[in-house]
Amino acid sequence: MTLSFSLLASAGHARRGRIHTAHGTIETPVFMPVGTAATVKAMRPEDVASTGAQIILGNTYHLMLRPTAELIARHGGLHKFMNWPGPILTDSGGFQVMSLTELRKMTEEGVRFRSHIDGSYHMLTPERSIEVQHLLDATITMAFDECTPYPATHEQAADSMRLSMRWAKRSKDAFIGRDGYGLFGIVQGSIYPDLRRESALALQEIGFPGYAIGGLAVGEGQAQMFEALEFTTPHLPDNKPRYLMGVGRPSDIVGAVARGIDMFDCVMPTRSGRTAQAFTRTGELNLRNAQFTDDPAPLDAGCSCPACSKYSRAYLRHLVKAEEILGLMLLTWHNLQFYQDLMAALRRAIEAGDSLSGDADSVVRRLLPPAEA
Amino acid sequence: MTLSFSLLASAGHARRGRIHTAHGTIETPVFMPVGTAATVKAMRPEDVASTGAQIILGNTYHLMLRPTAELIARHGGLHKFMNWPGPILTDSGGFQVMSLTELRKMTEEGVRFRSHIDGSYHMLTPERSIEVQHLLDATITMAFDECTPYPATHEQAADSMRLSMRWAKRSKDAFIGRDGYGLFGIVQGSIYPDLRRESALALQEIGFPGYAIGGLAVGEGQAQMFEALEFTTPHLPDNKPRYLMGVGRPSDIVGAVARGIDMFDCVMPTRSGRTAQAFTRTGELNLRNAQFTDDPAPLDAGCSCPACSKYSRAYLRHLVKAEEILGLMLLTWHNLQFYQDLMAALRRAIEAGDSLSGDADSVVRRLLPPAEA
């Protein structure tokens, strides 16, 4: 039987749920750290789990090229290979191959592209994407789609979305179901309400245990993204998880949860950690800033992660300035902890009947208030 | 009272001892991981400690320039700043400023040099080196010396060594003693037995709670290094710890312990870990090697570190090839574990009466045999 979803509570449009999978249970709303190349960058998997992360994301495009999905399959699948026994969601590879603008050619069949690593030619089709994700042993497999570029005319968006719907059907046909595993469809349609509705209904016609919303957070801005969620989620079933792909900043997540989204992934916390940016209860801090040179305070007094509980901002800034690996290790850890603390606060808030209404930034501050001095 | 040393057992020339310090007890023979810039690169201090490391080394040169010793003192000293509550030994900065061949000028007073970071001018004298190490709150402070270049004529080596002896006296005069802290003198004299003897006696005239041997492992080769130890250690007191600076590979350490050395430091395990080199019970492995592409075996079946207990060589090689930070984190951890396993095996062997005689490489393999398949 495919993975399943229980809706435990709701408040306004916000939902508190649980996804039951072959690799464990996922409490939603959930944030999935990105583990592109079979590693959440600069983190041991035990430490990722210690932040409260329940599921991570792997990238089909990167893994099929290096070390290859076949190698990972020979080594028992991605869970065993990378020492993450919990659920793993893999993307379809579509988003990444589309971004190889100079190196790919798209047809009805799929996308022919050249590897960014060694220039070798590869073909990614719905069937091949699903096969790769099967070899990786993904708990949640994503249908192969085209992430419609932004901006797009109505005609471009319609053509792109309808191709993705044909690919979604081929993905479903190619998917080999197993107990507690599942294949998610992806709603496209850019910023056009009629296309989003058409896409959502087309996917439900095919039938999936979960639905993602793709093609957002691609430059349209938060207000338009929230608006797109408002006219899309009413066309999605209540009894299936909803995943907003590639989102986002804390306020993006809070606003999307308020509009009925259950799942998120984003490189933001990990990438920011590697570039000295920290998300904290007192705002976003850049540790390169000279104001922290002699600052004895913890990075975020309200946080229990190692970076905050054992070091000063002065020390963290020293590591950043000296380009020490420990600096990006600790900042990555903190940012992942911040995101998981936010998700835990969101889950508690919804359980308590909080519909998360109001300005998203204000809700973030309300959920994670600065610690008392 | 200064830090003290207990000689617990000996076997041949090999010694099993204990150093009592303000920051805890150190079982010898001991290997000190190098934490150049207030971090053992790519490791959290808790994880360094988990390998069995009892004391780490900090670099005066690097720390005085960035973030500065004064800043570290304002933040409670190096132990607190970097979250390492155990003993810390700091070098004098002499070795590093001497290596700035284009950027420094040496006089009887000390060394004037330009920072490799920003080109600013600084002066390092015995008095300033000791002051910096005091500000850092070093458990073990090293006398300021000149590491005599190799090769050197007898005259050059004598002049250099006698300058270091005058600086050793000035170091002692500048040192502010505290309970459980100590200042070590450094024997110089290149490869000349008469000069090593003169230096060892000159230092004892001044009086230190520990003696280092400097100016070795600078290109003379293992055989000549061992020979230098053989004609130097007889001139050092039995009741004080002996520290061979900057050494070395596992066989260097084993051979030096067999010749009466108690303490070691080297960047080898950490630097090798960042360049895909692993020390294992089956020899040194380079994880870039294609032979490991599909190797499901652990890196070192006899090792309990995370890299060996949770991952395959295939995975570690993938991380290395993909230039993932986790790769160097795990390989660094493993190498530090290997070194600490070697030191623990040396301590047990000496307690059991093993004088570690024979070819040093063979002794390493005898102490850390390959695990049964």
Q: For the stretch B196-221, what's the b/e string if a residue is b when 16 or more beta carbons lie within 10 angstroms of its beta carbon?
A: bbbbbebbbebebbbbbbbbbbbebe
Question: Could you tell me whether strands A121-124 and B24-28 are parallel, antiparallel, or unpaired per DSSP bridges?
Answer: unpaired
pLDDT confidence of residue A100:
81
For an interface test with A, give the residue of B118, B315, B316, B332 to mutate (most A CBs within 10 A).
B315
Q: Is A326 in contact with B43 (Cβ distance < 8 A)?
A: yes
Query: B38: which chain A residues are within 8 Å (Cβ-Cβ)?
Result: 315, 318-319
Q: Is A39 in contact with B81 (Cβ distance < 8 A)?
A: no
Q: Is the pLDDT of residue A373 over 60?
A: no
Query: A77: which chain B residues are within 8 Å (Cβ-Cβ)?
Result: none
Q: Is the pLDDT of residue B330 over 90?
A: yes
User: Which tens digit of pLDDT belongs to each residue from B269-285?
Assistant: 999 999 999 999 999 99
DSSP string for A201-238: HHHHHH--S-EEE-S-SSSS-HHHHHHHHHHHGGGS-T
Could you list the beta-strand ranges (E) of chain B. 4-11, 14-21, 24-28, 30-33, 56-58, 88-90, 104-106, 111-114, 121-124, 140-142, 182-187, 211-213, 242-244, 263-266, 277-280, 283-286
Question: Could you tell me whether strands B121-124 and B111-114 are parallel, antiparallel, or unpaired per DSSP bridges?
Answer: antiparallel
Q: Using CB atoms and an 8 Å cut-off, which of residues 62-91 of chain A contact chain B?
A: 62, 66-67, 71, 74-75, 81-83
Q: B9 in helix, strand or coil? A: strand
Query: B321: which chain A residues are within 8 Å (Cβ-Cβ)?
Result: 66-67
Q: Is the pLDDT of residue B165 over 90?
A: yes
Q: Which residues contact B7 (CB under 8 A, 6 or more apart)?
A: B15, B16, B17, B238, B239
Q: Is B293 in contact with A74 (Cβ distance < 8 A)?
A: no
Task: pLDDT band for A98, please (50, 70, 90 cuts).
Answer: confident
Query: For B99, phi and psi rounded to 5 degrees?
Result: -75, -10
Identify the closest residue of chain A to B274 by CA–CA distance.
Answer: A325
Q: List active site positions of A.
A: 91, 265
Q: CA A49 to CA A45: how far, in whole Å?
A: 6
Q: Is the pLDDT of residue B8 over 80?
A: yes
For A77, counting Cβ atoms within 10 Å of its Cβ (0-12 exposed, 13-18 middle, 19+ buried), the class is middle
Closest in B66, B71, B324 to A39, CB measured: B324
**B100 or B126, greater pLDDT:** B126
Distance from CA of A35 to the nearest CA of B (A): 11
Query: B310: which chain A residues are within 8 Å (Cβ-Cβ)?
Result: 83
Query: B83: which chain A residues are within 8 Å (Cβ-Cβ)?
Result: 310-311, 315
Query: A39: which chain B residues are within 8 Å (Cβ-Cβ)?
Result: 319, 324-326
pLDDT confidence of residue A372:
72
Task: pLDDT band for B373, please (50, 70, 90 cuts).
Answer: low
Average of per-residue pLDDT values in chain B? 97
Q: List active site positions of B.
A: 91, 265
User: Which tens digit of pLDDT belongs to each residue from B191-201?
Assistant: 999 999 999 99
Residue B245 has what DSSP assignment? T
Cross-sheet strand order for the sheet of A182-187: A30-33, A263-266, A242-244, A211-213, A182-187, A140-142, A88-90, A56-58
User: Which tens digit of pLDDT belongs to each residue from A233-253?
Assistant: 999 999 999 999 999 999 999
* Distance from the first to the final alpha carbon of chain A: 51
CA-derived radius of gyration, chain B: 20
Cα A172 to its chain centre, rounded Å, is 21
In chain B, count H helices and then E strands. Answer: 15, 16
DSSP H/E element including A21: strand A14-21
Q: Is B38 in contact with A315 (Cβ distance < 8 A)?
A: yes
Average pLDDT over residues B297-316: 98
Task: Decide if A269 contacts A304 (C-beta within 8 A).
Answer: no
Distance from CA of B83 to the nearest CA of A (A): 6
Q: Is the pLDDT of residue A76 over 70?
A: yes
Q: Is A75 in contact with B306 (Cβ distance < 8 A)?
A: no
- Does residue A251 belong to the interface with chain B, where contact is any CB pair within 8 Å? no
pLDDT confidence of residue A102:
76
Residue whose C-alpha is closest to residue A33's, from A365, A353, A336, A342: A336
User: Which tens digit of pLDDT belongs to each residue from A58-67?
Assistant: 999 999 999 9
Residue type at position B120: S
Closest in B41, B315, B321 to A66, CB measured: B321
Query: A326: which chain B residues are within 8 Å (Cβ-Cβ)?
Result: 39, 41-44
DSSP H/E element including A102: none
- Does residue A42 belong to the interface with chain B, where contact is any CB pair within 8 Å? yes
Neighbours of B285 (CB within 10 A): 21
Q: CA A17 to CA A10: how far, in whole Å?
A: 8
Q: Using CB atoms and an 8 Å cut-off, which of residues 281-300 of chain A contact chain B?
A: 293-294, 296
Q: Is A71 in contact with B314 (Cβ distance < 8 A)?
A: yes
- Does residue B49 belong to the interface with chain A, where contact is any CB pair within 8 Å? no
Closest in B46, B75, B315 to A82, CB measured: B315
- Is the ipTM beyond the 0.95 threshold? yes
Q: Is B39 in contact with A326 (Cβ distance < 8 A)?
A: yes
Q: Is B325 in contact with A42 (Cβ distance < 8 A)?
A: yes
Task: Decide if A171 contacts A130 (C-beta within 8 A).
Answer: yes
Identify the closest residue of chain B to A78 by CA–CA distance.
Answer: B315
Q: CA A280 to CA B190: how far, in whole Å?
A: 54
Average pLDDT over residues A45-70: 98
Tokens of residue B338, six digits:
């290997």
Q: Is the pTM of this model over 0.95?
A: yes
Identify the closest residue of chain A to B310 by CA–CA distance.
Answer: A83
Q: Which of A33-37, A256-260, B98-102 has the lowest mean pLDDT?
A: B98-102
Identify the closest residue of chain B to A73 by CA–CA distance.
Answer: B294
Query: A314: which chain B residues are within 8 Å (Cβ-Cβ)?
Result: 67, 71, 75, 81
Q: What angle do CA B72, B75, B77 make, to 5 degrees?
A: 55
Average of per-residue pLDDT values in chain A? 97
Q: How many CB pairs under 8 A join A and B?
A: 101
Q: Using CB atoms and an 8 Å cut-off, which of residues 330-349 of chain A contact chain B?
A: 330
For an interface test with A, give the residue of B34, B36, B39 to mutate (most A CBs within 10 A).
B39
Tokens of residue A309, six digits:
């509980």
Domains of chain A and any CATH numbers: 4-266 (3.20.20.105), 275-367 (no CATH)
Q: Is B39 in contact with A81 (Cβ distance < 8 A)?
A: no
User: Which tens digit of pLDDT belongs to each residue from B67-116?
Assistant: 999 999 999 999 999 999 999 999 999 999 988 877 789 999 999 999 98
Q: Is A296 in contact with B75 (Cβ distance < 8 A)?
A: yes
Average pLDDT over residues A211-225: 96
Q: Is A42 in contact with B329 (Cβ distance < 8 A)?
A: yes
Identify the closest residue of chain A to B37 by CA–CA distance.
Answer: A322
